[in-house]
């Protein structure tokens, strides 16, 4: 068939799990593809990067369960290439290393379908690296062999165990159900029973678990620890280096699952900080932030900014939506000449900086009460050399449609002229804790509104189950803590500083550990 009749199929390696291990080319194709055919073990966090409207086909193979056959996958790729310009075949690890990418490429070639190969980080290298195990080392191993730990059903023979037993480092993909037989085969063909060995489950994911032992003891230790697929087995002296260079699974929150209740648009900073500390982040976006149905109020305020002394931003979202609307109206940062900008905290100040704007005022305590006091001129803390504001400043307050009135009411009570305008809307999102998942170790709250939405979404029975499971509830500041206590949510810790970094430090102090103890 002429190639012009088809789009192009991209056989892309998604790496072993951590989205940070995607190649630049893979990330580009994920963002620009027309449809995707993906494996079961491709990290859902990677799939979330796909364009929302594209066609998705899950053809992942699950051990012991009925799944799409390879012949069916091959036929599907040819079929989709007739309908789409860019078909992304997303495979775990590397397409050509035990990924059956060679079979798919051959089928596409026979059908006349253009294809491109994008290699990925293979599990046999990436997973041991995240466990602190170098597959080669000048002092321990100059040769490494990669093999599958199970044989295909139509295989006519077993692995060449005698040859494998003589190789310094052996990495076995899959085959956890045959771990005992594989270790016994290596011993039977000459490998010392005392050879160091490790099994690594969910490698490169925050939930990564590692069991180390010897060829003789590893099957028992892995069974006792409850390790199962997906897992990689590493055999050789290189396993000893884990004791010295373990780096990924001994961070402060390694092995902990932390619930982030912020809206998805604003959860990234907190999620990234928790992830950097080793936590497995479970995002529970309880709200969505949207543009207001009408811009009249904000447009009128932006047209007469010279009437105000201050614009007081109480959230990063207020900055984002006001700036977006300002640009849509054809203005830029020069529109703020003559008006000073106040930010409730560092996160809001950083949002201003991303727009090329500088916060003239940030209160010492990151809450509305402190911001109101600072604006009024009492206990002022300024950034730079801005002098204290005269009494009765004229304040523009862009905020959410459901914003609390505390700051506005306090300023009005002090005699300050205040104009509050709706800059964005907040819509609640249905939420339920995922079923069949490990327990949540901690839940974080960055605002009183989030606490209220969380309590309403779970209800008393759901909240009680979460409390009984041992989950610890952590607040960003006093107002949020008060709301938690009012709604019967036990407060385990409160951030010392009302910021995302302060919230993470509170989680670490409450739930962290010097390192996850290794089975065996």
Contact 312, 407 (CB under 8 A): yes
DSSP 3-state of 324: helix
H or E stretch covering 350: helix 346-354
- pTM of full prediction above 0.85: no
CB under 8 Å to 337, separation ≥6 — which residues?
none
Buried b / exposed e along 444-481 (16+ C-beta atoms within 10 A): bbbbbbbbbbbbebbeeeebeebeeeebbbbbbbebbb
Least confident of 21-30, 382-391, 496-505: 382-391
Q: State residue 371's pLDDT score.
A: 80
- pLDDT over 60 at 93, yes or no: yes
H or E stretch covering 147: strand 144-148
* CATH class for the domain made up of 125-245: alpha beta
Alpha-carbon distances of 206 from 148, 188, 264, 278, rounded to whole Å: 24, 36, 20, 6
- Give the right CATH number for 257-286+436-511 from 3.40.50.300, 3.40.50.10090, 3.40.50.1980, 3.40.47.10: 3.40.50.10090
Q: State residue 63's pLDDT score.
A: 56
pLDDT tens digits for range 215-225: 999 999 999 99
Q: State residue 379's pLDDT score.
A: 33
> By CB neighbour count within 10 A (0-12 exposed, 13-18 middle, 19+ buried), where does 500 fall?
buried
pLDDT tens digits for range 430-467: 777 767 778 899 999 988 888 998 998 888 888 999 99
Label the pairing between strands 144-148 and 115-118.
Answer: unpaired
Picking from 212, 266, 334, 203, the residue whose alpha carbon sits closest to that of residue 503 is 266
> By CB neighbour count within 10 A (0-12 exposed, 13-18 middle, 19+ buried), where does 487 fall?
middle
Q: What are the catalytic residues?
A: 39, 61
CB under 8 Å to 106, separation ≥6 — which residues?
none
Domain ranges of the chain: 3-121, 125-245, 257-286+436-511, 294-423
The C-alpha torsion from 268 through 273 and 275 to 277, rounded to 10°, is: -170
- Give the right CATH number for 3-121 from 3.30.465.10, 1.10.150.80, 3.40.190.10, 3.40.1010.10: 3.40.1010.10
pLDDT tens digits for range 46-92: 998 998 889 999 998 665 556 789 999 999 999 999 999 999 999 99
Picking from 447, 441, 444, 446, the residue whose alpha carbon sits closest to that of residue 467 is 441
Q: State residue 385's pLDDT score.
A: 47
**CATH code for the domain defined by 294-423:** 3.40.50.10090
On average, the pLDDT of the chain sits at 88
H helices of 88-211, where? 101-111, 123-130, 161-165, 179-188
Alpha-carbon distances of 359 from 204, 270, 322, rounded to whole Å: 39, 22, 15
Q: State residue 34's pLDDT score.
A: 94
Picking from 440, 444, 449, the residue whose alpha carbon sits closest to that of residue 494 is 444
- DSSP string covering 405-473: SHHHHHHHHTT--EEEEEEEEEEE----PPTT-PPP-EEEESSHHHHHHHHHHHHHHHHHHHHHTT-EE
H helices of 132-204, where? 161-165, 179-188
Edge-to-edge, what's the strand order for the sheet holding 395-400?
287-290, 418-428, 395-400, 310-313, 340-343
Cis amide bond preceding 230, omega within 30: yes
pLDDT band at 263 (very low <50, low <70, confident <90, very high): low
pLDDT tens digits for range 314-340: 888 999 999 999 999 999 999 999 899
Cα 402 from chain centroid (whole Å): 28
As a whole number of Å, the CA-based R_g of the chain is 28
Picking from 84, 40, 89, the residue whose alpha carbon sits closest to that of residue 60 is 40
- pLDDT over 90 at 384, yes or no: no
Q: What would the mean pLDDT of 389-409 be, rounded to a whole number? A: 82
Q: Is the dihedral of CA 125, 128, 132, 135 positive or negative?
A: negative
CB under 8 Å to 487, separation ≥6 — which residues?
451, 452, 455
Let me know if the fold of 3-121 is the same as that of 257-286+436-511. no
Edge-to-edge, what's the strand order for the sheet holding 144-148?
144-148, 169-173, 231-235, 196-201, 209-214
Least confident of 22-36, 178-192, 390-404, 499-513: 390-404
- pLDDT over 80 at 366, yes or no: no
Label the pairing between strands 115-118 and 8-13.
Answer: parallel
């Amino acid at each position: 068939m002429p190639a012009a009749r088809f789009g192009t199929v991209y056989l892309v390696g998604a790496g072993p799990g951590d989205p940070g291990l995607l190649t630049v080319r893979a990330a580009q194709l994920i963002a620009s593809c027309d449809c995707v055919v993906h494996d079961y073990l491709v990290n859902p966090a990677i799939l979330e990067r796909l364009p929302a409207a594209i066609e998705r086909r899950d053809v992942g193979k699950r051990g012991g369960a009925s799944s799409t056959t390879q012949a069916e996958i091959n036929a599907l790729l040819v079929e989709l290439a007739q309908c789409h310009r860019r078909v992304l075949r997303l495979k775990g690890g590397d397409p050509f290393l035990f990924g059956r990418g060679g079979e798919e490429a051959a089928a596409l070639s026979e059908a006349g379908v253009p294809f491109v190969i994008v290699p990925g980080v293979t599990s046999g290298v990436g997973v041991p690296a995240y466990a602190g195990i170098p597959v080669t080392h000048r002092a321990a191993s100059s040769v490494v062999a990669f093999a599958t730990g199970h044989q295909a059903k139509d295989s006519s023979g077993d692995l060449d165990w005698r040859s494998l037993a003589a190789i310094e480092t052996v990495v076995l993909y899959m085959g956890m159900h045959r771990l005992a037989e594989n270790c016994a085969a290596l011993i039977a063909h000459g490998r010392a029973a005392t050879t160091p060995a490790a099994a690594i489950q969910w490698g490169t994911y925050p939930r990564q678990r590692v069991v180390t032992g010897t060829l003789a003891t590893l099957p028992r230790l892995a069974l006792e620890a409850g390790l199962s697929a997906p897992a990689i087995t590493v055999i050789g002296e290189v396993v000893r280096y884990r004791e010295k260079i373990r780096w990924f699974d001994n961070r402060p929150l390694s092995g902990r699952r932390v619930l982030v209740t912020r809206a998805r648009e604003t959860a990234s900073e907190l999620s990234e900080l928790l992830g950097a500390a080793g936590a497995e982040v479970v995002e529970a976006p309880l709200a969505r932030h949207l543009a207001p149905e009408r811009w009249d109020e904000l447009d009128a305020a932006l047209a007469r900014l010279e009437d105000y002394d201050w614009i007081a931003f109480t959230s990063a979202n207020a900055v984002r939506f006001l700036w977006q609307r300002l640009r849509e109206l054809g203005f830029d940062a020069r529109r703020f000449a003559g008006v000073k900008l106040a930010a409730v905290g560092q996160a809001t100040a950083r949002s201003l900086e991303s727009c090329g704007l500088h916060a003239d005022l940030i209160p010492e305590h990151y809450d509305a009460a402190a911001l109101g006091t600072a604006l009024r001129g009492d206990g002022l803390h300024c950034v730079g050399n801005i002098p204290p504001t005269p009494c009765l400043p004229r304040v523009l307050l862009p905020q959410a449609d459901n914003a609390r009135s505390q700051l506005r009411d306090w300023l009005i009570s002090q005699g300050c002229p205040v104009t509050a305008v709706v800059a964005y809307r907040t819509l609640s999102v249905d939420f339920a804790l995922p079923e069949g998942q490990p327990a949540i170790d901690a839940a974080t709250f960055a605002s009183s509104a989030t606490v209220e939405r969380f309590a309403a979404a779970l209800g008393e029975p759901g909240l009680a189950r979460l409390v009984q499971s041992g989950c610890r509830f952590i607040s960003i500041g006093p107002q949020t803590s008060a709301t938690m206590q009012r709604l019967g949510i036990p407060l385990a810790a409160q951030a010392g500083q009302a910021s995302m970094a302060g919230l993470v430090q509170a989680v670490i102090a409450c739930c962290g550990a010097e390192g996850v103890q290794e089975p065996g």
